[in-house]
Amino acid sequence: MLGNISFLDIFDVYRVLLGMVSAELIFVEHAARHREHFMRRVLTGGVGILLFALLCIPMYMFREIVGNSAIASLITGGWWLMIGIVSMCFIYYCYEVTVCNLMFQCILGLALENLVTLVLQYLICKKLFPSLQTEHTVLYIVLTVLCYALFDIMAYLLLVRKNVRGQIVVEEDWRTFFIYLTIYIFISVMGDVTSLIFHWGQAGGKMFGGMEVFSHTAIPYFCIAVNVIVNLVIVLLQSMTYRILSLQQEKKMIQILQKEKEQQYNFSRENVDLINQKCHDLKRQIRALKLVQGEERDRLFKETEEAVQFYDAHVKTGNDVLDTILTEKSFVCTRQSIRFSCNIHAEHMDIIDVIDFYTIVSNGLDNAIECVSRYEDNEKKVINVAVLERGSMLHIFIDNYFDGELEFRNGFPVTSKDDKGYHGYGVKSMQMIAKKYGGDIRISVNNHTFSLQIMLPVR
């Protein structure tokens, strides 16, 4: 005891502060990059917030001097608001995050911490086991740690785990800042008001001319229920907003990638036309070399013919887009000693937009080339492409050798690339285009073969 300040009073401050920071970390760790010297920042920032929490001692002393008054309530409310601001400063100190994005994540953390406090303090300690804090302090501390761990794990599994890593784009303006600030203050004040009314109800408070409207049984449950509902709604709304922003950002990225594919198609088309012209010129030179006599002629003839064989990898399918893609990729495969074969038997390849067709086939081939290029054994560097019509469906098959294991999530493989979010857009882009035309894509691994099947209706 320090005057009228007990160990539980100080522990309560650290409980809220550390609980709030841990809850905020659950959300921000998945959505923001670490700042430089991250661990050093965590250690120095952690020491800073622990020392700041000791200011609760003079705060409690000053509140005792003021007594039970409106000023004491304002001091308490202001203190808990300061705790929230300090937790946000710690997050900002450790992570590369914008102000509005920081507030977005911290609103989730604050609401989650409030839910833990409501369950632990009011339901368990005040209603179910009133003597737990004073008579079984060690058990109370252990229960506190378990409650926060349980809620944080549930929040991660239900709200965070399935989200794409990376910072979502939250609009940075004064209007957005004011909205998030208002929500944050509302949650903080709601918790303080609930605490005030709860303790008043426990003491048998009366109002409206002495009429007893707060009973010992009804008001505690009412306060808990209202605050739980408010915080749950805020958590769910924030999570839905996060999901919507993520989808909007993902759609925007796919559109950017598709625009890049359009530029790449135009560039590839120009290259293929240029190569075809060069091949035609080389063939004429070969015919001219036949007029040269002796060993010099044979040597030059052989070198020129080998060059032609490399550049004359032009694939002719009857579809300009497919010709461009397959010719371009055949050059890549030749340089990397990849065996590349095509089987094209389809007439209705013009049902799909030029850029969409280029994007969907090019993405599939890029992934296949990247996969087999990792193998040193040339026997494993095999890619097969087939475009066939079966009934009313156009089927595009891209198969490549694969001897690893894949984890599938929602029918799609989880990429092994470092930039998981960005790489995943390739598959999602193919699926989005297929869905656009009423089709679908399927991915499977069987007998050391990775198979991508794209199905598009032709009628």
Residue 354: which domain range?
313-457
pLDDT at residue 381, rounded to an integer: 93
Residues 97 and 209 in one domain: yes
Would 272 be classed as within a structural domain?
no
In the chain, how many domains are there? 2
- Is residue 456 within 8 Å of residue 351, measured between CB atoms? yes
CATH of the domain at 328: 3.30.565.10
User: Which residue is listed with tokens 């030749």?
Assistant: 334
pLDDT at residue 307, rounded to an integer: 59
Residues 239 and 383 in one domain: no
pLDDT at residue 3, rounded to an integer: 54
| pLDDT averages per 10-residue partition of the chain, 459 residues | 71 90 88 86 94 85 71 77 90 89 87 88 80 86 93 87 60 80 84 70 51 56 78 83 71 62 61 64 65 66 62 63 78 82 81 78 88 89 90 90 79 56 59 82 88 86
pLDDT at residue 400, rounded to an integer: 93
Residues 86 and 197 in one domain: yes
Residues 345 and 222 in one domain: no
pLDDT at residue 235, rounded to an integer: 83
- Is residue 301 within 8 Å of residue 268, measured between CB atoms? no
> Looking at the DSSP assignment, which residues form a beta bridge with residue 386?
343, 397
Picking from 183, 194, 8, 45, the residue whose alpha carbon sits closest to that of residue 109 is: 183
pLDDT at residue 423, rounded to an integer: 41
Would 266 be classed as within a structural domain?
no
Would 158 be classed as within a structural domain?
yes
pLDDT at residue 418, rounded to an integer: 43
Distance between CA atoms of 14 and 183, rounded to whole angstroms?
Answer: 23
Would 139 be classed as within a structural domain?
yes
Show Cβ contacts of residue 405 under 8 Å, excluding neighbours closer than 6 positions: none
Would 155 be classed as within a structural domain?
yes
Would 290 be classed as within a structural domain?
no
> Looking at the DSSP assignment, which residues form a beta bridge with residue 440?
455
